[in-house]
Amino acid sequence: MFPLGTLVNIGAVLVGGAIGLFLHKGFPDNIRKMIFNTMGLITLVIGFIMAGRMKEPLAVVISVIAGGLLGELLRLEDRAEMGGEWFKHKIRIKDEKFTEGLVTAFMIFCVGSMTIVGSIDEGVRGDHTLLFTKSIMDGVLSVSLAATYGAGVLFSVIPLFIYQYSITLLAVLFGGLFDEQMIMQMTGVGGILILGVGINLLELKKIKVINLLPSLLIVALITFGMRLIFSK
């Protein structure tokens, strides 16, 4: 499966990020802070909308708790930050917010419902429409993100490609697993993760959102298990 939608998405983020990076040095601190807070508020709203789509709240709660525990045990956030710092030194970028920008952009671009549904549509039906629409939104958002965080936003396209294309390949191989119930449950968990990103953006509390990523896999497994049990 040629990942046309994902490649267009990456191109949009790179273009938008390049524009934001150009503006990065010219923004006064008060304007940058205003953009930062606005993005935090918008992210919270998106998170609440996504979280409200869950069909089985108990399964979502169990998934987030179990996923968080697994993420803590694996130290996913620490490893992601160390990887980002290693990569930053390798390419000799001195931007202090490089790793934070990479991780934040990846979370915003990758855990939304459009990512999940769009990647599945591309894999199952060869329909790139939703990912094209997401590309426009991500391109615009990447301007603000890069203006706030700098170059790290541009390099978020690497995990973005891996994540979206992985979902597309899974959809090609196991398309029947991704029914509406599965998508809504994953969207609900994604909404909770997005809320964590918004809280971090507003600097209300530091939440290790990367450690919660396993909850997306766990809720998919729980939903599939419930489907098998109730179908008998």
The mean pLDDT of 49-75, rounded to a whole number, is: 91
Which position has the higher pLDDT, 114 or 52? 52
Distance, in Å, from the CA atom of 84 to the CA atom of 81, rounded to the nearest integer, reads 5
pTM, two decimal places: 0.80
pLDDT > 90: percent of the chain: 22
Question: What does the pLDDT look like over 21-46, one tens digit per residue?
Answer: 888 777 677 877 787 788 788 888 88
Question: What does the pLDDT look like over 155-198, one tens digit per residue?
Answer: 999 999 998 999 889 888 876 677 788 888 888 888 898 898 88
Please work out, in degrees rounded to the nearest 5, the angle formed at the alpha carbon of residue 148 by the alpha carbons of 142 and 154.
Answer: 40
CB-based contacts of 38, cutoff 8 Å, min separation 6: 144
Residue environment code for 150-189, b if the CB has 16+ CB neighbours within 10 A, otherwise e? bbbbbbbbebbbebbbebbebbeeeeeebeeebbbbbbbb
| 69 pLDDT above the threshold of 90 | yes
Alpha-carbon dihedral angle through residues 55, 57, 58, 64, given to the nearest 10 degrees = 110
